[in-house]
């Protein structure tokens, strides 16, 4: 069964304290891994798509990396405005659900000034 | 521009009301989606339209009725909802239904059923 697991569930950082969020997945034939940021009460905002192991993408203080089993979202010198829930998703390869996004439960990041 | 718009932003309705949620995109995307999201949970897929045709209905109760009038618009008609249907309803679009295409989400409609 296709599955996405994110850890930790919640992460509290001081401003400037770098860290990483993890997304591990089990899906046969990865067709892409998507990272989104979601603020409370708002829709997910697209951040990155990664397609193959070894791929890396960066945007401001965020850097996403991909291996054959997991992806990391590295946050360098975070600021309070980086506080949000970060969601990871992969497309399913399972039967009638093929192509549907399977979301992890998210990591809620809080950055204190 | 990767904007998906949704109206209204907030909606309060009684269990006997009929209301509609609207979604619009002008990116030329040919796949559009409705998701439901409860508090502290990830989005759950409800419906998928591909080239204006319903391709996936994830066993959603008939009190939710989707409609795709054209390639840019997606509606969700609501009738006789239950309090447990209160949630954030998200619309998304993507270039097509290929698994490797990115889905872009709208800001959502916060629905409260009394």
Does the distance separating the beta carbons of A43 and B107 come in below 8 Å?
A: yes
Whether pLDDT at B32 is above 70: yes
Q: What is the pLDDT of residues B88-105, one digit of tens each?
A: 999 999 999 888 999 999
pLDDT for A22: 98
pLDDT for A95: 67
Residue corresponding to tokens 């899906």: A27
* Residues of chain B found within 8 Å of residue A107, distances taken between Cβ atoms: none
Judged by a CB distance cut-off of 8 A, whether residue B111 touches chain A is no
Cis upstream peptide for B35 (omega within 30°): no
Does the distance separating the beta carbons of A93 and B107 come in below 8 Å?
A: no
Could you give the CA distance from residue B89 to residue B13 in angstroms, rounded to a whole number?
14
Residue corresponding to tokens 């891994």: A33
**Exposure of A66 in the CB half-sphere (CA atoms within 13 A):** 22
Lowest-pLDDT choice from A51-60, B1-10, B71-80: B1-10
pLDDT for A27: 86
**Summary mean pLDDT of chain B:** 94
Which whole number is the average pLDDT over B11-22? Answer: 94
pLDDT for B1: 64
Which whole number is the average pLDDT over A30-47? Answer: 96
pLDDT for A89: 97
> Which two structure tokens, joined as six digits, stand for B57?
């209905």
pLDDT for A96: 67
Q: Which of A32, A36, A41 sits opposite B99 (nearest CB)?
A: A32
pLDDT for B56: 81
Considering only alpha carbons, which residue of chain A is nearest residue B106?
Answer: A43
Nearest 5°: phi and psi at B42? Answer: -75, 165
Q: In terms of residues, how long is chain A? A: 113
Which whole number is the average pLDDT over B53-68? Answer: 90
Task: Give me the residues paired with residue B7 across strands.
Answer: B22
Nearest 5°: phi and psi at A96? Answer: -70, -15
Does the distance separating the beta carbons of B100 and A51 come in below 8 Å?
A: yes
Could you give the CA distance from residue B86 to residue B112 in angstroms, rounded to a whole number?
5
**Pair A4, A89: CB distance under 8 Å:** yes
Q: How far is A104 from chain B (nearest CA, A)?
A: 7
Q: What is the pLDDT of residues A86-112, one digit of tens each?
A: 999 999 877 667 778 999 999 999 999
Which whole number is the average pLDDT over B27-33? Answer: 95
Judged by a CB distance cut-off of 8 A, whether residue A46 touches chain B is yes
Which whole number is the average pLDDT over B51-59? Answer: 86
Q: What is the pLDDT of residues A40-84, one digit of tens each?
A: 999 999 999 999 999 999 999 999 999 999 999 999 999 999 999
Whether pLDDT at A113 is above 90: yes
**Which of A56-65, B46-55, B57-66 shows the highest mean pLDDT?**
A56-65
Q: Beta strand pairing status for A107-112 and B10-13?
A: unpaired
- Most B CBs within 10 A among A31, A44, A52, A97, hence the mutation to make, goes to A44
Cis upstream peptide for B8 (omega within 30°): yes
pLDDT for B55: 84
**Pair B100, A32: CB distance under 8 Å:** yes
* Residues of chain B found within 8 Å of residue A41, distances taken between Cβ atoms: 88, 108, 110
């Amino acid at each position: 069964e296709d599955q996405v697991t994110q850890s930790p569930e919640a992460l509290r950082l001081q401003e400037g304290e770098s860290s990483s969020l993890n997304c591990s997945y089990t899906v046969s034939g990865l067709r892409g891994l998507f990272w989104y940021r979601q603020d409370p009460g708002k829709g997910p905002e697209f951040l990155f798509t990664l397609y193959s192991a070894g791929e890396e993408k960066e945007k401001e203080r965020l850097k996403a990396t991909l291996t054959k089993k997991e992806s990391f979202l590295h946050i360098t010198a975070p600021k309070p405005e980086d506080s949000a829930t970060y969601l990871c998703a992969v497309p399913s390869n399972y039967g009638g659900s093929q192509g549907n996004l399977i979301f992890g439960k998210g990591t809620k990041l809080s950055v204190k000034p | 521009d990767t904007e998906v718009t949704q109206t209204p932003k907030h909606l309060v309705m009684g269990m006997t009301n009929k209301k509609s949620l609207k979604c619009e995109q002008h990116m030329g995307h040919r796949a559009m989606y409705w998701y439901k999201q409860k508090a502290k949970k990830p989005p759950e897929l409800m419906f998928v339209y591909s080239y204006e045709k319903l391709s996936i209905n994830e066993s959603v109760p008939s009190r939710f009725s989707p409609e795709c009038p054209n390639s840019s618009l997606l509606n969700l008609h609501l009738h006789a909802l239950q309090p447990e249907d209160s949630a954030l309803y998200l619309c998304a679009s993507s270039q097509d239904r290929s698994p490797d295409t990115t889905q872009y989400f709208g800001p959502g409609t916060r629905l409260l059923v009394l």
